[in-house]
A = this chain, B = another copy of it.
Amino acid sequence: MHGEPATTFQLTLPDWLAEFACAPPVCADDDARIAFAIELARRNVEHGTNGPFGAAVFDGAGQLVSVGVNQVVAQRCSLAHAEILALALAQRKLQRFRLNGDGGHYTLATSAQPCCQCFGALIWAGIDVLLIGARGEDVEALTEFDEGPLPADWIAKLQRRGIRVQRDLRREESREVLREYTRRGGARY
């Protein structure tokens, strides 16, 4: 192989997220959960060169389980979308590959519509509710990002698998984060 053999990889939250790991909030309803995800996206834009996206997993009581922000550029990994980090960290914390495998109820809140990669990943992750801020068309209109190919009826496909989907939550607030990212020069700054 080229250089050292690669037998392991890891993805890590940036240091500035430590405060949430130490003092996780309870977000009682959909509005509070999406507000939290959008706040993560906003801080990710403030902190650096990664995409303007944030996500969080909550349990049935609204207790935060895990957070994620886009880290593709910093961690040189195309998997490192906000939703992927949040889901994988929740699985690590709960020590199971299907979050609701214990009969619990889990919500993924994401500041913007999942791309094709995250759409596929959330199907296997064991969540019951998907909360979305900005739409895919907002992402594509306001940034250089591409959502990729989703099934035409992607929302129906999720609902049929028992995942409730709620979108357009604080949509304008999430759109403003996307605009701010682009104002700062997008992936190039």
A→B interface (CB under 8 Å): 1-13, 17-18, 21-22, 24, 59, 63-66, 72-73, 75-80, 84, 87-98, 115-121, 123-126, 148-152, 154, 157
Contact = CB atoms under 8 A, between A and B. Distances in A.
Nearest to A154: B149
Contacts of A94: 2
Contacts of A66: 1, 6
Nearest to A122: B117
Nearest to A79: B88
Q: How many copies does the complex hold?
A: 2
Given A7-B17, A79-B121, 7 more contacts: A7-B89, A8-B13, A76-B95, A80-B97, A117-B123, A119-B120, A120-B148
Which residue among A8, A90, A96 has the maximum number of chain B CB atoms within 10 Å of its CB? A8
A126 B116 CA distance: 15
Nearest to A90: B6
A145 B37 CA distance: 32
Nearest to A7: B13
Which residue among A66, A84, A88, A94 has the maximum number of chain B CB atoms within 10 Å of its CB? A88
A7 B92 CA distance: 9
Given A93-B3, A120-B148, A124-B148, A11 B13 contact: no
Contact of A151 (B1, B91, B121, B151): B151
